[in-house]
Amino acid sequence: MILQTDSGHSLKTALHEAEMEIRHLHGTIGALRQELEEQRAGKDQAVQQASADAQSEIRQLHDTVRALRDELEALQHSKLEAVQKTNADSAGEITDLKRTVSVLRDQMEALKRDSEDRIGAIERSARTELKELQDTASALRTELEKAHGR
């Protein structure tokens, strides 16, 4: 029985050691589960943070796109206004130039008529004077011929 006692004691010791090992393994399993849960929670938190950061960046990009679109539309509107103003200014200038051309043409035609009238008057005067000179020359020749007896 001493053997049995030793064997019983060994058995108890082995049983006790097995129970201790089981408790230790349960503790290790619990610690590993706890660590796994913490890692999952950390990973979930990191994923949530990354998702939140991405959403924030997306919102910022949307805001930037919206601001750029608004700026582009403002520039297009400004450009359109500038083109319309330039067209209106050009149309006004064209109208003024046409009016000036018309006035200058009228003045030129009036000067031309006046010059033609003056030339006509000078030509008439010259013809009259020439006629008078021819008549005078003819009368003087006639007198000269009478005086010389011919």
Per-residue pLDDT of 84-119, as tens digits, reads 999 999 999 999 999 999 999 999 999 999 999 999
Rounded CA separation 61/72 (Å): 16
Identify the pLDDT of residue 4.
45
Identify the pLDDT of residue 148.
86
Identify the pLDDT of residue 11.
84
Tokens of 117: 């009238």
Identify the pLDDT of residue 7.
66
Query: How many CB atoms are located within 10 Å of the residue 50 CB?
Result: 10
Least confident of 10-14, 54-58, 128-132: 10-14
Rounded CA separation 128/121 (Å): 10
Identify the pLDDT of residue 19.
92
Is the whole-model pTM more than 0.85? no
Element (H, E) at 5: helix 2-147
The fraction of the chain above a pLDDT of 90, given in percent, is 84
- Token look-up 């201790």 returns 20
Whether 14 has a pLDDT exceeding 70, the answer reads yes
Whether 2 has a pLDDT exceeding 60, the answer reads no
State the sign of the Cα–Cα–Cα–Cα dihedral 119, 120, 125, 126: positive
Whether 150 has a pLDDT exceeding 80, the answer reads no
Identify the pLDDT of residue 149.
75
In this prediction, residues 37-58 reach a mean pLDDT of 94
Rounded CA separation 43/54 (Å): 16
Tokens of 137: 């020359």
- Token look-up 């108890």 returns 12
End-to-end C-alpha distance for the chain, whole angstroms: 208
State the sign of the Cα–Cα–Cα–Cα dihedral 74, 80, 83, 85: negative
In this prediction, residues 52-73 reach a mean pLDDT of 97
